Structure 1
Amino acid sequence: MDISASGSMIKKMKYKDILSNKDAAPILLAINFSRLAAGLVPFGLIALYSSKHEYAYAGIASSLLMATGALSAPYKGKLIMRFAPVKTVIPLSMIYCLFVALGAFLSYSNKPFYIAIVFLFAGNLVAPPTPALVRTLWTRIANNQDYNRALHALDSITEELVFAITPLITAFLWSTVGAFWVIPVGLLCGFISTSSIIILAGRKNAPTYELIHSSDNAYIRASANSTDTRSSSIYFNRITWGLLGPMLGLGAAMGALSIILTRWSEVSIGEQYASGIILSIISFSGFFAGLLFGKFKINSLSTATQYTIASLAIGVGILFISLGFDIAFVVIGAVILGSAMTIMFIASFVLIGEHYEVVEQTEMNAAIGASFDIASGVSNLSAGFLISMFGLLASFHVMSIAILPLVALSFLLQAKNRLRS
């Protein structure tokens, strides 16, 4: 059953219709199989070094590789669209797998860490931004805004579920065949699924065929408006900062809370592990909010307005949490924060399809994730310093002061200055 077959069916959008769509369903399955690699490889590296009691190496490898992937993702998104995904994604995936496997094997064989980290670093530097490319594919597969939002919502929801089970798979492999084998299993999953996405999206009768096979120059020639919209960098306009600013704020909030809530749980509840319950409330709130947001039509509000409201809700959630020692306020803030977080991600990917050229969309999709990851890492480090130097309550307040101006940048979306090709 093809969901695009009739307008009446689109109005009654159900996730099961997407799962039966011949273009969307196989790619959705493949990208979630790929996310097994995104979870297994980092967890596997931490498990490998931890099993050898090299905890410092585990921390260095984890933080370095996360930073490398986040900082290089937008450029790689631009690169694969410039030379065509069919020519770049599979070779980059192959190089990534070979380099990371070699780096992990060197560590497993007790070779010097500084040699292994070179290969691990190089592998992550060339890892293809497959999730960002798939977000661009959704925009091409969808034939209206509601379908596009439902695709992005289902993608985000299933992503959360996959990342929830990867630690369990890691633990199983670690306890049975050893920590090292988590890494090659993850790399194999990643290569197979990435190759499958290119093959599936590149079929001649697929709506994504042209995107997969065409280069940047081909799209420029095909677009009459390209010279106007591509005359300056995509990072020097209001729409971009209206998108990325709040995403930086969201990343900063989640990174800081992962540290601050641990201390809050110890002081207010008496048990540090309770912070995990609050973080779970955030995740489950986001899961259910994503389910609802993807299903219902919201024609009365533009996507930009939805993103602005969700961004401001992040600020409201942070303000509730920053009231500090009242558990009721913390739980309410966690529900608001989690619900707004998922809606922000879904709306941001829809907005990219509305405001950017096709050749820019993969880069911008990658920039969304990079903004979140970079801000999360910086605030994670900063929160530990703040708690040590100034205490819990001051850390809550500093977090709020830093995040509120970032989420307020979402108002820039109301002054539209870019057109979709």
Structure 2
Amino acid sequence: MASTVTTERSARPGYGQLLRTKGAWTFLVPGFAARQPFAMLTISIVLLVRHTTGSYGAAGAAAAVTGVSMALFAPYSGRLADRYGQRAVLMPGVVLHTAAGLTLTALALAHAPLWALFAAAVPTGASVPQVGPMVRARWGTRLKGSPLMSTAAAFESVTDELTFVVGPLLATALCTTVTPAAGLITEAALTLVGGLLFAAQRGTQPPVGPHAEAGEEAHARVSALRVPGVRVLIVTFLGIGAVFGGMQVSLAAFTESIGEPGLNGVLYGVFAAGNMLSGVICGAVAWKSSPRRRLMVGYTALALATSALWTVHSVPLLAGLGLLVGMCIAPALITGYTLVEDLVPAGARTEAFTWLTGAVALGQAAAVTVAGQWEDRLWDGAGFLVPMAATVPALATILALRSLLVARARTRTVARGVGHREPVTVD
């Protein structure tokens, strides 16, 4: 099975050159702070509600409502950002999210009924700022037509992994050493400060209006969800989100069952560190195989690794297996985002990225709910079955519909001198 590699991709510039791009740091630094809420929110809700109600099931349900709300509203947020500009969406969004998050915190501390927590969780999730997709869109504006685009896609995936190291560790440390509410309060503060600073960087946001995608095909504004390959990737990212959610709840329950709740942050940090480490490596390698092939191989490894989680009952073995599971996630995430660049017209990519981000959130929400219920109703460690139950069907979907992950050639744009594409790798 042969693969085609362009000279451009083989000699892809590295991270150092990418970070020297003019204006990059003006949106990277506030963007990093503003994207922390995505990684902190779920675990902060789980730890707070578990503390106030004594139930992982209730905690998982409250976190799930937040995740579902984010998954449902994220694509519309991306579409509005494409149409009206990132600043116009972020400014009211971060204020709403901060207010909703603080309301949820106050209700939990007041031991409000579960329905009241659900009512506050809806706007909390719906208003989570979609900073990751917005940063990716800004790279696209700064690097249009540059070979650095592939490096930028990998760098953003690595940054996402880093947030999943820093965010849950920070939230867990705050909730267990300061107060159970500290995680959500910090998350709200980071959203407000980071989001407003990011929105203030007007010079780097993508253009908006009817001329924003001059030279693109007329269908570029059509919803990204109409691209068949995007729907396959949504299923893929649902499984990845379920791994995150299942690990968060199951590790918290496991460490509590052995009387060492402080180990939760350590074990989750090992899992997330494996994720980040493999992301750095994947982004630095000039791959000769196609993204589609890498996705299939990486996801197979992920499904196999998660299938062993429920059999492990010791801290050292769980840490080692968690590291392996984490290392299998990044290749799937990076290749998924890379495939979006190939499959989706530029005018719909921010929306496509938010669909994938929303899929991760939805998978995480579902996994948190199921894992919480299983931990409460079945045996200690039953929540570790959730990542396997999600990734195995997702892998079957990828293998069955892999033909939809091949980019179709775009017509008419070549004659106008735009839309040229590098050769598509064929397995």
Shared topology, TM-score over 0.5? Answer: yes
Structure 1: gaps of 5 or more residues: 1-6
Mean Cα displacement is larger for which, 360-369 or 335-344?
A: 335-344
Give the counterpart letter for 1:161 in structure 2. V
- Offset at residue 116 of structure 1 (A): 6.2
Question: Which residue does 2:402 correspond to in 1?
Answer: 411
| Partner of residue 217 from structure 2, selected from 219, 225, 239 | 225
- Give the 3-state SS of the residue equivalent to 1:417 in structure 2: coil
Is the Cα–Cα contact under 8 Å of residues 35 and 191 in structure 2 kept in the other structure?
Answer: yes
Q: Which deviations, in whole Å up to 9, do the C-alpha atoms of 1:3-44 show, x marking residues without a partner?
A: xxxx99x95844444445442233222122123444555555
| Partner of residue 239 from structure 1, selected from 229, 233, 241 | 229
- Offset at residue 191 of structure 1 (A): 1.8
1:162 aligns with 2:156: no
Question: Which residue does 1:293 correspond to in 2?
Answer: 282
State the distance in 2 between where 1:54 and 1:264 align.
18
Is the Cα–Cα contact under 8 Å of residues 313 and 336 in structure 1 kept in the other structure?
Answer: no
1:30 aligns with 2:30: yes
Question: Which residue does 1:62 correspond to in 2?
Answer: 63
| Partner of residue 151 from structure 2, selected from 140, 147, 150 | 147
- Offset at residue 313 of structure 1 (A): 2.9
Question: Which residue does 2:301 correspond to in 1?
Answer: 313
Give the counterpart letter for 2:65 in structure 1. L
Aligned identity (percent) is 14
State the distance in 2 between where 1:322 and 1:47 align.
22
State the distance in 2 between where 1:370 and 1:281 align.
25
Question: Which residue does 1:128 correspond to in 2?
Answer: 129
State the distance in 1 between where 2:78 and 2:211 align.
17
Structure 2: gaps of 5 or more residues: 1-6, 414-418, 420-427
Is the Cα–Cα contact under 8 Å of residues 34 and 190 in structure 2 kept in the other structure?
Answer: yes
CA 1:242–1:109: 2 relative to 1, 3 Å: closer
- Offset at residue 341 of structure 1 (A): 0.9
Higher helix share: 1
Is the Cα–Cα contact under 8 Å of residues 234 and 240 in structure 1 kept in the other structure?
Answer: yes
Q: Which deviations, in whole Å up to 9, do the C-alpha atoms of 1:262-296 show, x marking residues without a partner?
A: 99999xxx999899887665433322211111122
Root-mean-square deviation (CA, aligned residues, Å) is: 4.5
State the distance in 2 between where 1:325 and 1:158 align.
26
1:362 aligns with 2:366: no
Mean Cα displacement is larger for which, 142-151 or 376-385?
A: 376-385
State the distance in 2 between where 1:95 and 1:59 align.
23
Alignment of 1:2-401 (within 5 A): 11=11, 13-39=13-39, 45=45, 49=49, 53-55=52-54, 58-105=59-106, 114=115, 117-142=118-143, 143-144=146-147, 145-167=149-171, 170-171=174-175, 175=178, 179-180=180-181, 183-200=184-201, 202-203=202-203, 208-209=204-205, 211=206, 213-215=207-209, 217-219=210-212, 222-227=214-219, 229-230=220-221, 233-255=223-245, 282-298=271-287, 300-318=288-306, 321=308, 324=311, 337-382=325-370, 385=374, 388=378
Mean Cα displacement is larger for which, 411-420 or 93-102?
A: 411-420
TM-score where L is the length of structure 1: 0.73
State the distance in 2 between where 1:192 and 1:398 align.
38
State the distance in 2 between where 1:59 and 1:305 align.
35
Give the counterpart letter for 2:234 in structure 1. L
State the distance in 2 between where 1:276 and 1:108 align.
22
Q: Which deviations, in whole Å up to 9, do the C-alpha atoms of 1:313-353 show, x marking residues without a partner?
A: 3234346x289579999888755543231111122222223
State the distance in 1 between where 2:174 and 2:271 align.
23
State the distance in 1 between where 2:365 and 2:359 align.
10
CA 1:333–1:95: 2 relative to 1, 3 Å: closer
Q: Which deviations, in whole Å up to 9, do the C-alpha atoms of 1:201-250 show, x marking residues without a partner?
A: x21xxxx44x1x414x4436x244123x555x432333213322322333
State the distance in 2 between where 1:254 and 1:165 align.
13
- Offset at residue 192 of structure 1 (A): 2.0
State the distance in 2 between where 1:115 and 1:252 align.
25
Is the Cα–Cα contact under 8 Å of residues 92 and 127 in structure 1 kept in the other structure?
Answer: yes
TM-score where L is the length of structure 2: 0.73
Is the Cα–Cα contact under 8 Å of residues 103 and 120 in structure 2 kept in the other structure?
Answer: yes
State the distance in 2 between where 1:329 and 1:107 align.
35
Give the counterpart letter for 2:127 in structure 1. V
CA 1:407–1:314: 2 relative to 1, 3 Å: farther
State the distance in 2 between where 1:238 and 1:358 align.
16
Structure of greater relative contact order (alpha carbons < 8 Å, 6+ residues apart): 2
Is the Cα–Cα contact under 8 Å of residues 314 and 337 in structure 1 kept in the other structure?
Answer: yes
